[in-house]
Chains A and B, each alone.
Chain A
Amino acid sequence: MTRETAELPRLLALVPYLLARPGVPFAEAAAVFGVSVERLRKDLDLLWVCGLPGHGPGDLIDIAFEGDTITLFEPAGVTRPLRLTSDEALALVVALRALAETPGLEERDALDRALVKVEGVAGAAAEAAKRVEVAVEGEERVLPVVEQALREGRRLHLRYHVPGRDETTERDVDPLRLALVDGRPYLEAWCRRAEGVRTFRLDRVAAVEVLDLPAEPPPGLPERDLSQGLFQPSPTDELVVLALRPGAHWVADHYPAEQVDDAGDGTLVVRLRTPDTGWVCRLALRLGDSATVLAPEGLATAVRAQARRALEAYAGS
């Protein structure tokens, strides 16, 4: 945790934290509270002069330092942390519940038990958690197999459908992690066929098998930061420009656009980057007269050609 909490809540938690952990190292306590060791020393200086009314030597919070460690002897009555606020209870309860209800997740049992305990501790503060729901789609067929391979450090064989090209592929992958993003499970893995890190949506896995081989992803792969979303277009990807009329404005919301301009006549001009334009071609066919591909020219030509071929199929049937 790196977030710095406001001072008073931090101090009210710090006293019982130190009381529960005699001899905790400075660095460890500072890391838990998300502050520098220097800041922690200032906190301790402040605690030192606080205490029970009278504020005589026996009334004050008493702390001893030995080497790099802290021991709190006298908490002046602050023996337990403050109860959870309704936002704190809501954040934990909703998160635990969302994961506990995800079909196929092997941690469900432990999540369920933790949920019951946190709800018990939160008491009435957990009421507000009923007002928030996070739906995470599970996957009972593939997800347990992926978790097993991750746990055992083994390679997987996948039959995977690539929707953009409408192909089914066969490949061996070394699993890196399972990500639940946008309410869906994805496998991030080193793909031995593509020799790169690839992300696989589990509901597009047609078949999965744990191989009797250890997973051997290349060492030192950088961990992708998923906080900006799963799909992070690269600046070297092809630039696609689409003109969207009102019926297709949802596209600007739905796909990660680099730029959206309002052309003023009810048309939005969307610029996005993608390594594979196959899906854009399918999208353009689907959108019919509510969207036009402005660039690249090759894609616009391909859309027209595909539409004509499809019309021939209709004419002949």
Chain B
Amino acid sequence: MSAKKTERLLNLVICLLATRRFLTVQQIRQAVPGYDGGSEEAFRRMFERDKEELRELGVPLETGTDARAHDDEVGYRIARGDYELPEVVLEPDEAAALGLAARLWQSAPLAGATGSALLKLQAAGIDVQPVSGALEPRVAASEPAFAPCLAAARDAQPVRFLYRTSYRPEPEERRVEPWGVVSWHGRWYLVGHDAVRGASRVFRLSRVVGDVVPDGPAGTVVVPEGVQLRAMVADLAGEPVRQTAVVRVRPGTCWALRAEATATLPDPAGAGWDALELGFADPERLADRVTGFGADAVVVSPPEARDAVVRRLQAAAAHEEGVPA
């Protein structure tokens, strides 16, 4: 932005804030330096662009007609109450808490939005600085799909994108009415209604391939009452417990399994070993948790869980050196 243009826009804001009456474009042209000179047409084009720019910055331009005006030509003003940040006072510990929260975002666009928000609060007289301290909160959003999905959820706008899954070789198109975005264990997810499947779905943003494009007008997505975004992502990550497995573990090992066990009993079959009871739904998911412990954890029952682990161990034992199986 050139200094001339910045000067003109600042004078325009000052002028429209100062007026109580709606000012017509001709009155604005006379009052604001930078609009004089040039043709009427050039001025109109310039004013249209300036209005657009102010609206993008969140300046609330009000349009209307003045009751005392001779004709009903539309005029402009800025209502001070809509423009100004309301009065607020933060206690020192609240300002410190805000400074802490302000360090959370690591990436665009939210890191930038945090910076400009803090400037406004500082301009309101609040002393808040994003200083580093003993507590360091960090949330990254490096997925390229993050910014467009965030904007779509914010603007209630349907989107479509290509999505990669582990069970299909090629990415498939998804059409989604976004309900929200959720960060869970450091990964971002889009939650929404999948228009093709006709059901709610959770998408991991790192699996979105290429661009996220609008698939309908903004403001058309209706988020169902009482939808629990975080719970939907957590349900995807977790699994409902439907069965109990018994797993023998060597003494002093398998800390992670012990931490998850619903019961720990001395193992009748082996001296010093313990028998853990672990809840699970799918034998393959249980094998995910147990197989890595090798000979330190042995599934006793049920047989399908035992078989799932044994199959993986047989495959791992059979890999030839340096040659994919």
Contact = CB atoms under 8 A, between A and B. Distances in A.
A162 B76 CA distance: 66
B59 to A, nearest CB: 7
A249 B171 CA distance: 14
A267 interface: yes
Nearest to B23: A53
Interface in B1-47: 1, 3, 6-7, 9-11, 13-15, 17-18, 31-33
Interface string B85-107: 11010110111111011101110
Contacts of B6: 7-8, 11, 46
Contacts of A15: 123
B199 to A, nearest CB: 20
A69 interface: no
Given A1-B118, A49-B7, A88-B114, A121 B319 contact: no
Contacts of A246: 166-167, 169
Interface string A164-182: 0010100000011111111
Contacts of A309: 294-295
A272 B312 CA distance: 23
A51 B11 contact: yes
Nearest to B315: A289
B113 A5 contact: no
A145 interface: no
Interface in B264-294: 269-270, 287-288, 291-294
A82 B83 contact: yes
A304 B84 contact: no
Interface residues of A, number: 130
Contacts of A92: 98, 101-102, 114, 117
Contacts of B180: 130-133
A294 interface: yes
Given A32-B122, A180-B138, A300-B322, A134 B115 contact: no
Interface string A233-264: 00000000001011101100100000000000
A53 B17 contact: no
Interface in A265-317: 266-267, 282-289, 292-295, 297, 300-301, 303-304, 306-314, 317
Binding site of A, secondary structure by majority: helix, strand, loop or mixed?
Answer: helix
Contacts of A181: 136, 138, 186
A34 B112 CA distance: 12
B10 A11 contact: yes
A33 interface: yes
A13 interface: yes
Nearest to A245: B324
Contact of A286 (B31, B310, B312): B312
Contacts of A95: 101-102, 104-105, 114, 137, 139
A85 B113 contact: yes
Contacts of B86: 83, 120-121, 123
A146 to B, nearest CB: 9
Given A118-B98, A249-B166, A312-B295, A89 B88 contact: no
A310 B138 contact: no
Contact of B13 (A12, A16, A121): A12
A314 B310 CA distance: 8
Interface residues of B, number: 124
Contacts of A249: 166
Contacts of B288: 286
A96 B96 CA distance: 11
Contact of B138 (A8, A55, A80, A179): A179
A121 B32 CA distance: 31
Contact of A3 (B13, B58, B112, B125): B112
Contacts of A94: 110
Contacts of A136: 137
B225 to A, nearest CB: 12
B40 to A, nearest CB: 20
Contacts of A300: 319, 321-322
A284 B104 CA distance: 35
A81 interface: yes
B49 interface: no
B317 interface: yes
A44 interface: no
B179 A114 contact: no
B13 A78 contact: yes
B324 to A, nearest CB: 4
Nearest to B135: A178
12 contacts: A9-B116, A13-B122, A14-B123, A51-B14, A55-B33, A85-B116, A86-B154, A131-B180, A133-B182, A134-B183, A180-B138, A289-B325
Interface of A: 1, 3, 5-17, 20-21, 32-34, 42, 46-47, 49-53, 55, 76-92, 94-96, 98-99, 105, 107, 110-111, 113-114, 117-118, 120-121, 123, 128, 130-137, 147, 150-151, 161, 163, 166, 168, 175-184, 204, 206, 223, 226-227, 229, 243, 245-247, 249-250, 253, 266-267, 282-289, 292-295, 297, 300-301, 303-304, 306-314, 317
Interchain residue pairs A-B with the least CB separation, the first 3 = A182-B186, A288-B312, A282-B292
